[in-house]
């Protein structure tokens, strides 16, 4: 099972803060009403210290209500806790232990435990502080009758009212907390339904896309094969004409021969184009044959370079430079050979100032193959589209090419777990950088 992402954890934490802040806003509202009631009680029985405390407490919880609403959690919670503990100690001191203000201590741990944003050491420190203060006040004030002599029967009623109020505040906290959970659950259910609908739509779109891709691949395959028959007939007839011309003394010989050469050249170009289109179709449809084996990449590149050097009519050559210890790669030989051949062919095609170079760098886990030409270069704005099928830069439109070679080369390299990048400068040259894993 994959680990929960930081984004998912952040969302869960945000939901937890929302739930807790909503419940604390409700609890602060009820506590404000409690302070109002106690102000009236202490005014009636003339306990001015407690009147002042409850006026301060009312003001504090009005502020805390705003803080909780704006998702301030820890500071307002600590301030509220200090207010509760202060109120318990003052009530015990001024009107006696029998007032049962200690029941409000239950609210602090209850509120603390339903919020998941606390760290363990924060919870432990809070409980130790609360327990220490409670036990200290119990030791000091348990037998203290209170500064003000209030009728014991009235204190019993007050104790009952405090217990009822504490339970009511706790119920409000849990009610709002639960309501937030239910709301979040409903939101998640709606999102889940929406996700299912989107998945169904995506699945339908993928099926249509797959069908269209299969139809396109089938069309390309059939069309390419159908083209081969007439092209073969044209080529054989062209060759037949050339054979007749060789044995003929016709004055038209010099005029016809260049035409037949152009026909053969264009037939070759059309055949290469169809081969590239078929390859592109197989790659797109995922039906390309893929067979990996151990390859000495240096020997393979050397073989390709020698073939091009031997065929080059203008005597230009491609040089090879190697750094690092030669290692074998586990790749599909035909694919890598096709990709590198395409890059070397392009380098010879576009290089003007000096011979192209192939630089092979063996590192610990990868081999980097750089094919450098010194030609017209590629405009910076067009590099991003260079590996798109049929795309050709504006400054090479007059040079023969199909626009599929680089696209196929990139696909072949990526199928073997590698990457290809390009660096270029106008009128300086272009460097293709292949990185393959060892």
Mean pLDDT lowest among 34-43, 250-259, 361-370: 250-259
Task: Give the per-residue pLDDT at 3.
Answer: 47
3-state helix, strand and coil shares in percent for the chain, rounded to the nearest 5: 70, 10, 20
Task: Give the per-residue pLDDT at 73.
Answer: 80
Decide: pTM greater than 0.75. Answer: no
CB atoms < 10 A from the CB of 336, how many?
26
Q: State yes or no: pLDDT of 101 exceeds 70.
A: yes
Task: Give the per-residue pLDDT at 421.
Answer: 92
Per-residue HEC secondary structure of 206-275 comes to HHHHHHHHHHHHHHHHHHHHHHHHHHHHHHHHHHHHHHHHHCCCCCCHHHHHHHHHHHHHHHHHHHHHHH
Ranges of CATH 3.30.565.10 domains, the chain: 293-437
Q: State yes or no: pLDDT of 2 exceeds 50.
A: no
**209-285 under CATH 1.10.150, yes or no:** no
Residue 215 banded pLDDT, cuts 50, 70, 90: low
Q: 421 phi and psi, to 5 degrees?
A: -130, 165
Task: Give the per-residue pLDDT at 300.
Answer: 92
Which range, 99-103, 236-240, 353-357, 367-371, has the best average confidence (pLDDT)?
Answer: 367-371
Outline where 6-119 has alpha helix (H).
Answer: 6-44, 48-69, 74-94, 107-113
Tens-digit pLDDT profile for residues 50-70: 899 889 989 988 998 888 888
Task: Give the per-residue pLDDT at 236.
Answer: 79
Average pLDDT over residues 115-124: 79
Mean pLDDT lowest among 29-38, 76-85, 226-235, 402-411: 226-235
DSSP designation for 351:
B
CB atoms < 10 A from the CB of 147, how many?
12
**293-437 under CATH 3.30.565.10, yes or no:** yes
Task: Give the per-residue pLDDT at 1.
Answer: 39
How much of the chain, in percent, has pLDDT values that exceed 90? 11
Q: Nearest to residue 406, comparing CAs of 431, 387, 422, 424?
A: 387
Contacts of 56 (CB under 8 A, 6+ apart): none
Ranges of CATH 1.10.287 domains, the chain: 209-285
CB atoms < 10 A from the CB of 297, how many?
22
Integer Cα distance of 123 and 24 in angstroms: 17
Average pLDDT over residues 140-164: 78
């Amino acid at each position: 099972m994959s680990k929960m992402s930081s984004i998912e954890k952040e969302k869960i934490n945000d939901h937890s803060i929302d739930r807790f802040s909503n419940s604390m806003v409700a609890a602060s509202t009820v506590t404000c009403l409690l302070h109002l009631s106690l102000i009236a009680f202490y005014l009636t029985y003339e306990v001015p210290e407690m009147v002042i405390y409850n006026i301060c407490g009312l003001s504090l919880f009005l502020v805390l209500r705003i803080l909780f609403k704006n998702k301030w959690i820890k500071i307002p919670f600590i301030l509220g806790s200090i207010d509760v503990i202060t109120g318990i100690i003052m009530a015990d001191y001024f009107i006696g232990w029998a007032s049962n203000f200690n029941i409000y201590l239950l609210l602090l741990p209850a509120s603390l435990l339903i919020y998941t944003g606390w760290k363990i050491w924060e919870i432990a420190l809070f409980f130790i502080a609360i327990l220490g203060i409670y036990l200290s006040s119990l030791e000091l004030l348990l037998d203290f009758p209170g500064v003000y002599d209030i009728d014991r029967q009235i204190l019993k009623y007050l104790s009952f009212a405090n217990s009822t109020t504490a339970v009511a505040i706790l119920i409000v906290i849990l009610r709002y907390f639960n309501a937030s959970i239910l709301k979040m659950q409903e939101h998640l259910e709606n999102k889940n339904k929406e996700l299912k609908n989107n998945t169904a739509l995506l699945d339908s779109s993928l099926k249509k896309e797959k069908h269209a891709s299969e139809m396109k691949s089938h069309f390309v395959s059939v069309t390419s094969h159908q083209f081969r028959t007439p092209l073969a007939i044209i080529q054989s007839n062209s060759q037949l004409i050339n054979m007749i011309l060789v044995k003929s003394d016709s004055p038209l010989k010099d005029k016809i021969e260049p035409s037949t050469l152009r026909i053969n050249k264009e037939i070759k170009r059309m055949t290469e184009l169809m081969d590239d289109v078929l390859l592109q179709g197989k790659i797109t449809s995922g039906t390309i044959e893929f067979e990996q084996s151990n390859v000495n990449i240096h020997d393979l590149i050397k073989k390709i370079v020698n073939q091009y050097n031997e065929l080059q009519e203008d005597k230009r050559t491609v040089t090879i430079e190697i750094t690092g210890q030669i290692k074998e790669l586990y790749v599909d030989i035909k694919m890598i050979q096709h990709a590198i051949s395409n890059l070397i062919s392009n380098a010879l095609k576009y290089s003007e100032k000096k011979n192209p170079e192939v630089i092979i760098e063996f590192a610990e886990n990868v081999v980097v193959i750089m094919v450098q030409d010194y030609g017209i270069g590629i405009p910076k704005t067009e590099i991003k589209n260079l590996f798109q099928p049929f795309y050709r830069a504006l400054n090479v439109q007059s040079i023969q090419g199909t626009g599929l070679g680089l696209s196929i080369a990139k696909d072949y390299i990526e199928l073997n777990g590698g990457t290809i990048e390009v660096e270029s400068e106008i009128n300086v040259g272009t460097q293709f950088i292949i990185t393959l894993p060892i």
